[in-house]
Chain A
Amino acid sequence: MANIKQLSEINERLVGGHRLCGGCGASVAVRQILMGAGPDTEVVVAVATGCLEVSTTALPFTSWDCSFIHNAFENAAATITGVEAAYKALKATGKIAKDKEIKFIAFGGDGGTYDIGLQALSGALERGHDFVYVCYDNGAYMNTGIQRSSATPSHSWATTSEVGAVIPGKPERRKDLTSIVAAHHIPFAAQASVGNWKNLVEVSEKAFNTPGPAFLNVLAPCPRGWRYTSEKTVEISKLAFRTKFWPIFEIENGKWSMKEIREKDLLPIEEFLKTQGRFAHLFKPENEHLIAGIQAEVDEYYDYVKSMCAK
């Protein structure tokens, strides 16, 4: 992988003038991931309906210095595979030069991926197209106003999993999308975050260079939805890793490997939870037992990933 200084010479494919919030994790993720495509490669980006899409393509302005397509909410994966199929067909007829290399990548939020776009994603992965799919996971439908998705963590507040007198936030555990994707036995899948840029660029580079489908599930915190101030996006992502909230791992041709948390870096889940207003209710005395439950959940998941890596 190129070092950070070399990366800084790559032309930005997502440029300024977009209207994402200050401190948005999604744009950090997109910039770092597109660095992984290399300096000169032509890239076509598809984006599912959501913050990233509306904020980067308000007519007559596009923030994409590469070809871009938005179709709808649930079909970024299907759309990009259509583009990829066109590329193969046009190459076959010589309308595109045989040696011309183009990379294809789709971005969807957790709503557009874990929920409404899961079917299209599954189909695209199964069909084996040569593309990268990125879920930028901020754990709720942020664009429509912080409604819960199946990526919303246990006991988090969201506007459709309210904290009230009888229910303390979202009762259900979040879906393990990365494992679901891994079960498609695609050549490369990874879970990464904007808290570790080097790893994110690395896995992105691997994803782009993998023939066939590759998938990245990227934690991309949302200051508005998580209720924290905008400068903390990367800091909180780092805490997500150190508290086991968001393990960083990859699955290359069925082989799992993870970044283990060094003992001196390991922190209890409270350290992650307390940084965000969406978990503020958990620190009331009557809810403290819920934190123990979340700790047990993240411990269990971390151990599960570890056990998969041991196989």
Chain B
Amino acid sequence: MANVTVLGATGNQMVAEAFRQAKVDVLPAYPITPQTTMVENFAKYVADGRVHTEYVAVESEHSALSASIGASAAGARVATATAAQGLALMFEELYIASGMRLPIVMANANRALSAPINIHGDHSDVMSCRDCGWIVLFAETAQEAYDQTIISFPIAENPNVLLPVMTTLDGFVTTHAMERCELMDDDTVAAYVGDRVPENALIGGPKAVSHGMFSSLGGPYFKLKKVQREALENSKPYIQAEGDKWAAITGRKFEFVEKWECDDADYIMVIAGSSAGNARVVARELRAEGLKVGIARIRLYRPFPVAELVDILKDAKAVAVLDRSDCFGAQFGPIGLDVASALYSAGAQVPMRNYIYGLGGADVTLDALRQAFTELPQVASGELDQSLNYLGVR
């Protein structure tokens, strides 16, 4: 039986615990707000001899992911963590990690991108990297950040997956706020995650291998990209299987999209990350007032859970898609684009309005969320158009 410790902890603390319990071999990292306490906590485990991990205190995020790639190719279990400008600096390496099919678990403390420089929570950083070939998870709470970080290791390292995983939590709201959390005992986590069993590693294997090959015109580049896309799409059952396995231990369910009162809902809000809690508060009030609203909270963002979302949204009268980042120049924000194309390809004619909210850590007020919900009847009737709106900004 697993032993559970109940504690007050921040998201960053819980991610550091997950890294420790997963017995990460190599953790290259560079400090950046609001990720810092994550790696500080881990550095303390190293200093106290509680882990065997090689903590590589690199000189930049670019080197953090570069070293992670080297360590993963060498056959080690690898984790790193970053945020915002750090993730942006890694951009080149994000594609290389997935293209080389290397399991790496990276926690991202979701934060606004400059300029103006802003250290607070939004999704601009992770969303700018959404198409880099990584599996991307969004946590609402510190508990979920812990759970999703733990399941990320066996997902990434599964020989049928072999992809890097970005496990994300919102800057400050989730990384720094203290919540009631449940920490499983070390042995339970160790038994759950198991050891990485690498194939074709640079060291320790039966023969020498070459990683990071060149493929120009006439080479198999195009073919390898097709295989990569399929690997990401085909990772879904393995992601769900790990979530289920972990749920059997913890009692905490894992779903690609969490449905809250969606079954009979006329109006559904699609949201990801920490603001879902506020959304539920408003939704409860609205339900009491007679408006049948529901919430579809995205936990797995890449590969995008198209079928799951369509199934939830297809019969709604209108949908509000909330985006905590913008795709400048595009019709909608990132989740707005994804939901619109999912609905379109399924032939579902559901009116949708896209709301950009909380950029740069701006307060996500109950009033603002109420506005998004209560506009939906007008969206359904056509009184309000299906456009993109900055929520709460005049």
Contact = CB atoms under 8 A, between A and B. Distances in A.
B214 interface: yes
Interface string A123-150: 1101100000000000000000000000
Contacts of B67: 78-79, 81-82, 85
Contacts of A75: 62-63, 66, 93
B70 A86 contact: yes
A261 interface: no
A69 B66 CA distance: 11
A120 B210 CA distance: 22
A28 B282 CA distance: 71
Interface stretch (A57-65, A187-195, A219-227, A292-300): A57-65
B263 to A, nearest CB: 48
B208 interface: yes
Given A90-B203, A123-B63, A82 B56 contact: yes
Contacts of B63: 75, 78, 119-120, 123-124
A82 B60 contact: no
Contact of B210 (A54, A67, A88, A127): A67
Interface string B49-66: 000111011111011001
A72 B93 contact: yes
Given A75-B93, A82-B71, A88 B54 contact: yes
A134 B57 CA distance: 22
A206 B243 CA distance: 51
B215 A81 contact: no
B219 interface: yes
Contacts, number: 167
B286 interface: no
Nearest to A42: B203
Interface string A71-98: 1101100111111111111101101100
A128 to B, nearest CB: 11
Contact of A72 (B53, B66, B211): B66
Contacts of A72: 66, 92-93, 96
Interface string B190-205: 0000010000001110
A66 interface: yes
Contacts of A84: 70
Given A93-B25, A93-B52, A122 B59 contact: yes
Contact of B59 (A53, A88, A95, A120): A120
A169 to B, nearest CB: 31
A127 B209 CA distance: 27
A46 interface: yes
Given A44-B202, A75-B66, A89 B208 contact: no
A285 to B, nearest CB: 45
A66 B68 contact: no
10 contacts: A59-B213, A67-B209, A79-B67, A82-B73, A87-B74, A92-B52, A95-B75, A120-B60, A122-B59, A124-B63
When A and B form their complex, which 8 residue pairs have the shortest distance between CB atoms, in order from nearest? Answer: A82-B70, A123-B59, A82-B67, A70-B212, A86-B74, A86-B76, A75-B66, A89-B25
Given A67-B211, A74-B62, 4 more contacts: A58-B216, A72-B66, A79-B70, A82-B28
